[in-house]
Structure 1
Amino acid sequence: MNPARVQQILQQGLAQHQAGRVQAAAALYAQLRKLAPRSFEAHHLGGAAALQLAQPAEAEKLLARAIALNPRSPTTYMCLGLAQGSLGHNLEAIKNLRRSVELDANNYEAWGHLGSLLTIDGKLEDAATSYRKSIALKPVYAQAWSGLGSVLQLLSRSQEAITHQTRAIELDPQHPKARFCRAQAYFSMHCLDEALADFDAQLARFPDDLEARSYRLFILNYSSEVSREKLFAEHRIFGTAAAKTKPLRPQLARPPIEPNESKKKISVAFLSPDLRTHSVAYFLEPLLHHLDRERFEITLYHDHFCTDDTSARLRALAVRWRNFIGLAADIVESMIREDAPDILIDLAGHTGFNRLPLYAHRLAPLQITYLGYPGTTGLAEMDYRFTDEIADPPGESDAFHSERLVRFAPTAWSYAPPTCAPEPAQLGGQAGQPITFGSFNNISKLSFQTLRLWAAVLNAVPGSRLLLKSSGLCEEMIAPRLLAAGLDRSRIELLAATTTIAEHLALYQRIDVALDPLPYNGTTTTCEALWMGVPVVTLLGDRHAARVGASLLTAIGHPEWIALSDNDYIRISAELANNTAKRTALRLSLRDDLRRSPLLDHVGQAARFGEALHQCWKTNSRA
């Protein structure tokens, strides 16, 4: 080894690295490792360069070797943790980042990165602590302010989240995520104008941010001021942008011209961030449980830090389970291509943690969207969307979809009521007690149009009250909106989130009539109310999100609660409120109505779902 030559190459590599020519620097570090195979600097710097070049596997190898050569370098442990985090090796990543801050407790970057990985791992309080330590060490570190804001949002502390994201933006107006995250926090408080303004500002700075573009579409569904024509046009813009992203490999063809008769089963993969205790799981689990295993092989792709008992039950129904949380898109794409499913089903649409841009790369011969989102994806490469005739009427909805619609009869839904649900109790509005209307829908669904209509309902039933329950519901935020809509605050009761599902369901016993919001109906909340013996009144709208209530009520045999106008909605609500005998009977009969309905015909719905998959496969095989 020529020490002078080694030093010369090292200095050249550092110069290239500092000038931003990372590829050239990496080549010099590789040359250095050949000359000095035991050089800590050659391995450490080579690993850091590989990390910058989005080569986490190479970075992990080099940095592990660097640590073997020098086990007391805090920066090397930090970089190794980042590489392992990119590969989804979170436990090892967290361990190495903890080692980094043990060796150097003043490394604010390491504390920040540790906070990020703890967030992905679902350890939110620990993540918040790490971010706070980072901020204490460097109060102008925008990344830590934004990271802490994101954790606070996950903890349903939206106002604090907004404050922290605002500070991050003040420190770094070009921060790549702070506006996006602040928009999410605004949205969770139903501050739609503020959320959309932040998303527009984000896209003005980062026009290729497909995650922001997608989440913005999700929010537009909650606005009664956006026409379905405008909504579809916005989705098509997303589809066009996603189509411009580059896949790892050439796109897959559609199914073969002739189906492979030797292939006895069609492999079907479901991708969702909601394979946990979540609304989507209530409707997915019965389908998976009864889907014909002689015809289909099931793979489940989860994409969320939370896994729980529901996740375990779902996992037991699949031959393969993977969790993609924290993994880069190219790694997820590679893993799905390696599994090679015949059909890939999206269950998220434009909701949070979705992977829609990957579908533009056609990861499976047949791609379908279902359940988690009330509309089109906007992707030309998404072949089908599963729905029903009421939520998406033939001749009306097709023009507003990039997908072909497959309509189930009589309904698209298969609901599994929570086993912990208490029995329906007596009416809330007993003799001498006021009638109580109620909604347990997310606060984001409580549009001005909704609140104004509910004010008219209360006025039509003197002495009646309104019970609202949602996470993030706070007096200072909701009171001005209630007042603006004409609601008397003294007639409104606000309830915070409950600890358990059983406690949540028991609160329906206090409601006499449930009111469905618009333009974004409830789905799980409607089914919950009906299961607890509470009638639900809905207003039929012009798009899927505003027609789900009608679909559910038709499925259980109560179309008489579907209003065709505001006046109709008020009339139906008042009639139910004033008919104590009717409501008493419904308390005892509604659960049986659901049991007899297609919503709880799990075997039949799974058979229809399986047949739809098979027909879509056959149709495309012959195309």
Structure 2
Amino acid sequence: MPVNQKNDLVKKALALGVSSYQSANFPQAKSLFQKVLQLDDNNFYALHFLGIILLQEHNYKIAHLLLVKAQSLKPKDAEVAHHLGLAFKGLGDANKASYCFAKAVKLQPSLAVAHLGYADVVSSMGRYEEAIKAYLAALKHDSTLIKAHNNLGTVYRKKADLASAIAFYKSALVLDPSRLDIHSNLLMCMASSDGVSPSEYLKEALCYGTQAQKTADSYTDWPLLDKSSGKTLNVGFVSGDLRNHPVAAFIESFIGCFDDGKISLTAFSTTSQVDKVSERLKGYFKDWHCIEALTDKDAATLIYQSKVDILIDLSGHTAGNRLSLFAWKPAPIQVSWIGYFASTGVSEIDYILTSNALSPPEYESHYIEQQWHIDSAGCLKVPSVDVVVESLPALKNGYVTFGSFHSLAKLSDAVIETWCEILHRVPNSKLFFKCKELVDSAFRERLIAKCEGFGIDGNRLLLEEASPLPEYFEAYNSIDIGLDPFPYNSGTVSYHSLWMGVPYIALKGDRILSRIGFANLSQVGLGALVANDREGYVERAVQFASNIEELASIRAGLREKAVRSGLFDGLKIAKELEHVFRDMWQCHLQKDNK
């Protein structure tokens, strides 16, 4: 082919490819850029644009190859460096990604998305202070970057600075009020903050519900359902956590205990991620559907056609939720349970399953849903590890070891200050921290510095990263007394602690998430370890630490007491739920007949 003719074809295909790309006709653009590269494999623009399209398709490996070649042609192009950073990020190479983003920023300091990319990567590496600076730099050059506002909120939430997190989530929503995922992030923070009252939280949650209704066309009749009162009820679970996750550990404790003649289960997983736990759980469900790729409309149609009588949300406003789906009302009875600890704000959800200890009747004003009380609102599967409860460590150590195996995101300055006061009051005592964040030296240094700021020498702190389950449970044998965070009490950790014979001090608050400690300790007869304020929390810890004989006695019998309680009795909660679901169904039939 003559050179002139070839050049003309390249120019025409390239121009049409750019035009198609700008019109968001990416399949056509992709084809045209590929044609250009067949004619000229060193065409910078085709390499760059095709690389961008492949990034959008998550084909990071080929995108990386194209962008490396493009960079070799124009090594000082900031946009190429930025996109190459995205490719490395997609490939899971954080170090190379951060290098590329930093290079892009150096080449073009005003390139906001390069600052954003750098911030995302260093944030994933736990370098939060660095991430905050980079996010703020991104916003300096482009204040409309919703992702920067949202991700700043997430970084501050991980740092337990909920006030700052709330502020940035709100600024992100101002830019796009329709972003329900960001709205969920905001509500998670508000529900976890003692600076937000239940009424303030509910007001914001109702705004979420109103927004969800804007795109929903709710079902009002369910003619496909058999309306007989004694039929087998089809109960559907919607969750992104039907895998190795605490929610799965809770439901697995009881879903195998239902009478098949009374309850049939259908799963609607919001994620395509599956693991060994998912495969095990599938055996308990009559049907299992993945709705990750479905729109809310299509997912609602699937649930409606699956003839679900009672649909249960197990996520609330946590990650991967599909709460907006519930605004379509695909089942006549809809329930919120386990995965969340406050109102969803979605008026189409009829009930929130809870207990009197977690949410007494006078808390009715906290919810758009109606409270339905059960004896034990949470039951965990007994851990399948062979770890014995050893004798009280204080007996051999000669000092008391307090412990926290909670995420650092739950440990606000007020929590750390309170725990340090306990250490001041209990001579020679130590505090054992164990969590996944402590794999990073920056987290360790920050935690030590914070405790030293409250007058506690770093030598009194024991820091350990997360470990496999047998080692994790074995670590409880190094703790005498657990310390529960507040206002966001521990969930799974509190069950594990009691199963390992470790009692803990808790502070009771004015909402579900700050009453979990009270509810769980009450079930094993340790309500005396629950305080109503920080001063009482400290006093109980000090008093308890002074009575080693009582501590040893409690430890010796606590696992047996916990296993016999509603905290681990899956059969008991299954039978209670059979009655609850039947009563809900009867209520629906009565309303339907009016």
Query: Offset at 1:348?
Result: 1.9
1:219 matched to 2:219? The reply is: no
Q: Distance in 2 between matches of 1:611 and 1:44?
A: 63
Query: Offset at 1:74?
Result: 4.6
Determine the structure 2 residue equivalent to 1:322.
Answer: 290
* Residue ranges of structure 1 left out of the alignment (5+ in a row): 1-10, 15-38, 52-58
Query: Offset at 1:312?
Result: 3.2
Is 565-574 or 209-218 further displaced after alignment? 565-574
**Aligned counterpart in structure 1 of residue 116 of structure 2, from 133, 146, 149:** 146
Q: Distance in 2 between matches of 1:470 and 1:458?
A: 20
Determine the structure 1 residue equivalent to 2:373.
Answer: 407
Determine the structure 2 residue equivalent to 1:457.
Answer: 422
**Aligned counterpart in structure 2 of residue 161 of structure 1, from 86, 108, 131:** 131
Q: Distance in 2 between matches of 1:562 and 1:254?
A: 47
1:468 matched to 2:437? The reply is: no
Query: What are the residue-to-residue correspondences of 1:46-195 with 2, within 5 Å?
Result: 49=23, 72=38, 74=47, 77-78=50-51, 81=54, 85=57, 93-94=59-60, 97=63, 100-101=66-67, 104=70, 125-126=92-93, 129-130=96-97, 132-133=99-100, 136=103, 140=108, 141-195=111-165
1:499-521 CA distance string (max 9 Å, x none) = 32322222222211112122111
Secondary structure at the aligned position of 1:499 is classed as coil
CA 1:518 to 1:271, structure 2 compared with 1: closer, same or farther past 3 Å?
Answer: same
Query: What are the residue-to-residue correspondences of 1:165-564 with 2, within 5 Å?
Result: 165-243=135-213, 245-247=214-216, 250-253=217-220, 255-256=222-223, 259-261=226-228, 265-294=232-261, 295-303=263-271, 307-318=274-285, 319-322=287-290, 324=292, 331-340=295-304, 341=306, 342=308, 343-394=310-361, 396-409=362-375, 411-420=376-385, 422-431=387-396, 433-472=398-437, 474-479=443-448, 481-482=450-451, 486=454, 488-490=456-458, 492-564=460-532
Query: Offset at 1:405?
Result: 1.4
CA 1:146 to 1:479, structure 2 compared with 1: closer, same or farther past 3 Å?
Answer: same
1:575 matched to 2:575? The reply is: no
Query: Offset at 1:535?
Result: 0.8
Q: Distance in 1 between matches of 2:554 and 2:371?
A: 35
Tell whether the 8 Å contact from 1:350 to 1:373 is kept in structure 2 after alignment.
Answer: yes
Secondary structure at the aligned position of 2:192 is classed as coil
Query: Offset at 1:298?
Result: 1.7
CA 1:227 to 1:335, structure 2 compared with 1: closer, same or farther past 3 Å?
Answer: closer
Determine the structure 1 residue equivalent to 2:41.
Answer: none
1:570-599 CA distance string (max 9 Å, x none) = 443233322222222333321111221112
Secondary structure at the aligned position of 2:204 is classed as helix
Determine the structure 1 residue equivalent to 2:563.
Answer: 595
Letter of the structure 2 residue corresponding to residue 274 of structure 1: D
Q: Distance in 2 between matches of 1:316 and 1:104?
A: 50
Tell whether the 8 Å contact from 1:254 to 1:366 is kept in structure 2 after alignment.
Answer: no
Q: Distance in 2 between matches of 1:344 and 1:560?
A: 38
Secondary structure at the aligned position of 2:156 is classed as helix
Tell whether the 8 Å contact from 1:124 to 1:155 is kept in structure 2 after alignment.
Answer: no
1:44-89 CA distance string (max 9 Å, x none) = 96687455xxxxxxx65x5687689778565775576467x4xxxx
Q: Distance in 1 between matches of 2:200 and 2:562?
A: 36
CA 1:278 to 1:480, structure 2 compared with 1: closer, same or farther past 3 Å?
Answer: same
Query: Offset at 1:397?
Result: 1.3
Determine the structure 2 residue equivalent to 1:55.
Answer: none
Tell whether the 8 Å contact from 2:481 to 2:505 is kept in structure 1 after alignment.
Answer: yes
Tell whether the 8 Å contact from 1:255 to 1:366 is kept in structure 2 after alignment.
Answer: no
Secondary structure at the aligned position of 1:300 is classed as strand
Letter of the structure 1 residue corresponding to residue 446 of structure 2: M
Determine the structure 1 residue equivalent to 2:587.
Answer: 619
Is 257-266 or 133-142 further displaced after alignment? 257-266
Tell whether the 8 Å contact from 2:508 to 2:514 is kept in structure 1 after alignment.
Answer: yes
Secondary structure at the aligned position of 2:146 is classed as coil
Query: Offset at 1:224?
Result: 2.3
Tell whether the 8 Å contact from 2:430 to 2:462 is kept in structure 1 after alignment.
Answer: no
CA 1:276 to 1:478, structure 2 compared with 1: closer, same or farther past 3 Å?
Answer: same
Query: Offset at 1:533?
Result: 1.0
Query: Offset at 1:487?
Result: 5.0
CA 1:337 to 1:163, structure 2 compared with 1: closer, same or farther past 3 Å?
Answer: farther
RMSD: 3.7
Secondary structure at the aligned position of 1:468 is classed as strand
Is 94-103 or 567-576 further displaced after alignment? 94-103
Query: Offset at 1:393?
Result: 0.6
Q: Distance in 1 between matches of 2:586 and 2:418?
A: 47
> How many pairs align?
558
Tell whether the 8 Å contact from 2:343 to 2:369 is kept in structure 1 after alignment.
Answer: yes
CA 1:335 to 1:378, structure 2 compared with 1: closer, same or farther past 3 Å?
Answer: closer
Normalised by the length of structure 1, the TM-score is 0.78
Is 435-444 or 337-346 further displaced after alignment? 337-346
Tell whether the 8 Å contact from 1:434 to 1:464 is kept in structure 2 after alignment.
Answer: yes
1:275-334 CA distance string (max 9 Å, x none) = 333322221222333344443132131438x6433333334444224262xx5xx73542
1:200-241 CA distance string (max 9 Å, x none) = 332333344333232122112332232222222232233233
Letter of the structure 2 residue corresponding to residue 556 of structure 1: V
Q: Distance in 1 between matches of 2:327 and 2:95?
A: 35
Tell whether the 8 Å contact from 1:422 to 1:502 is kept in structure 2 after alignment.
Answer: yes
Query: Offset at 1:110?
Result: 8.2
Letter of the structure 2 residue corresponding to residue 179 of structure 1: H
Letter of the structure 1 residue corresponding to residue 521 of structure 2: L
Secondary structure at the aligned position of 2:393 is classed as coil
Task: Quote the sequence identity (%).
Answer: 26
Determine the structure 2 residue equivalent to 1:585.
Answer: 553
Letter of the structure 2 residue corresponding to residue 314 of structure 1: L
Secondary structure at the aligned position of 1:538 is classed as strand
Secondary structure at the aligned position of 1:320 is classed as strand
Q: Distance in 2 between matches of 1:520 and 1:506?
A: 25
Q: Distance in 1 between matches of 2:546 and 2:186?
A: 41
CA 1:225 to 1:124, structure 2 compared with 1: closer, same or farther past 3 Å?
Answer: farther
Secondary structure at the aligned position of 2:266 is classed as strand
CA 1:270 to 1:46, structure 2 compared with 1: closer, same or farther past 3 Å?
Answer: farther
Q: Distance in 1 between matches of 2:386 and 2:410?
A: 24
Q: Distance in 1 between matches of 2:466 and 2:129?
A: 20
Query: Offset at 1:104?
Result: 4.4
Query: Offset at 1:423?
Result: 1.5
Letter of the structure 2 residue corresponding to residue 338 of structure 1: L
Tell whether the 8 Å contact from 2:61 to 2:87 is kept in structure 1 after alignment.
Answer: no
Tell whether the 8 Å contact from 1:464 to 1:491 is kept in structure 2 after alignment.
Answer: no
Query: Offset at 1:337?
Result: 2.5
Tell whether the 8 Å contact from 1:180 to 1:199 is kept in structure 2 after alignment.
Answer: yes
Secondary structure at the aligned position of 1:180 is classed as helix
